[in-house]
Amino acid sequence: MVTVGELSQYLDSLFPPDLAESWDNVGLLAGDASQPVSRLMACLTLTPASVREAVEGRAEFVVAHHPLPFRPLLRLTGDSLPGRLLWELARHGIAIYSPHTSFDSAERGINQRLAEGLGLQTPCPLVPQEQSEGGSGRWGSLPEHTLLEELAGIARRLLHAACVQVVGESDRLISHVAVACGSGGDFLAAAREHGCQCLVTGEASFHTCLEAEAEGVALILPGHYASERFAVEQLAEELQSAFPGLDVWASREERDPLWLL
C-alpha cells in the first residue's frame, strides 16, 4: 500500500518545490509520512465544504492546490477558519499536500496545460527559471491569427467558465498570447515584452485592466477558480492512473464562490 511519504515524493517529482515562489508554502503541510493511504481527494481550495467531503469520504490524503496553512499559525484552535479546518482534518488523520506555485510553473503544470489547451505552439515560460524546464506563466503563438472574441470563447469552453471578462476590441486579431493562471495581472509587463497581444489570466485588478487597455494588450479573464480547477481535475485522473490501487477523486463539493445574476 502507498504511504503519505511516497505520495508526497511522487508529487514533489512532478512539481519540484524549488519552482515555488519564495513567499509560498508548498509540499507536505500536515501528516505522518508512514501513514498508509487508500483514498485521496484533490481540490483547488480547502473550504468547509471540501473538508467535510474529505472527512465523509474517508480520505487519508488531500492534494489542495492552495496551501493550508498559508501563513504560520500561532495556535491550532477553532478561533479562526484555518485553525478549524486544520483541526478537523488532523483529528481525522487526513494529510495535506499543496503544490501551489510549483504546480503553476512546472513543466507539466497548470500554465503549460492552459497554454496547450488554448492551442499555443511551443509555449515557453514568461519568466524562465535557471536550471529548470519550468518557469512562471507561458507564452506562445497561435496557429493562425484569431479574433479576440473567438479566443475568449475558446478559453471559456476549455475551462468550463460561466463567462469571461475581456479587455480590448472584440475584432482585434491575436497571434501571440501569454497565460498566467490564478491572479496573474503582475505578468502584464512580461507579456508585453514578449510581444503578446493578449494575456489570459484568471483575474486582474481594475487598475491592471486600465493599464492593459492603455498599453494595447488585451485581457481574457475567466475567473480565478476556472483558470485552475480544470488542472486539479486532470491531476486527479493522472494520480488514479499512477496509483491504480488508490481511490482518487476531485472534490465534487467545491464551487466557485462567485456567481452571476
Q: Would 113 be classed as within a structural domain?
A: yes
* Whole-structure pTM value: 0.93
Q: 122: which 3 cell numbers?
A: 511551443
Total domains, the chain: 2
Domain membership flag for residue 236: no
| CB atoms near residue 81 (< 10 Å) | 12
Q: What is the pLDDT along the chain (261 residues), one digit of tens a residue?
A: 899 999 999 999 999 999 999 999 999 999 999 999 999 999 999 999 999 999 999 999 999 999 998 888 888 888 899 999 999 999 999 999 999 999 999 999 999 999 999 999 999 999 987 666 678 999 999 999 999 999 999 999 999 999 999 999 999 999 999 999 999 999 999 999 999 999 999 999 999 999 999 999 999 999 999 999 999 999 999 999 999 999 999 999 999 999 988
- Same domain (yes/no): 112, 196: yes
Does 169 share its domain with 221? Answer: yes
Q: What is the pLDDT of residue 73?
A: 82
- Same structural domain, 54 and 16: yes
pLDDT at res. 132: 65
Helix H, strand E, coil C: the string for 44-85 is: CCCCHHHHHHHHHCCCCEEEECCCCCCCCCCCCCCCCHHHHH
Domain that holds residue 74: 4-102
Same domain, yes or no: 30 and 127: no
Q: What is the pLDDT of residue 206?
A: 98
Q: Which residues lie closer than 8 Å to 4 by C-beta, 6 or more apart?
A: 28, 31, 32, 33, 34, 35, 36, 37, 60, 61, 95
Same domain for 62 and 40: yes
The rounded distance, in Å, linking the Cα atoms of 81 and 93 is 19
Q: Are residues 117 and 213 in the same domain?
A: yes
Question: Are 156 and 90 in a shared domain?
Answer: no
Measured in degrees and rounded to the nearest 5, phi and psi for residue 196 equal -80, 135
Does 69 sit behind a cis peptide bond, omega within 30 degrees of 0 on the bond before it? Answer: yes
Grid coordinates of 44: 483547488
**Whether residue 129 sits in one domain with residue 19:** no
| 68 within 8 A of 98, measured Cβ to Cβ | yes
Compute the distance between CA of residue 57 and CA of residue 153 in angstroms, rounded to an integer: 36
With respect to residue 89, please indicate whether it lies within any of the assigned structural domains: yes
The verdict on residue 138 lying in a domain is: yes
CATH code assigned at 87: 3.40.1390.30
Whether residues 150 and 187 share a domain: the answer is: yes
pLDDT value of residue 244? 97
Confidence at residue 131, expressed as pLDDT on a 0 to 100 scale: 61
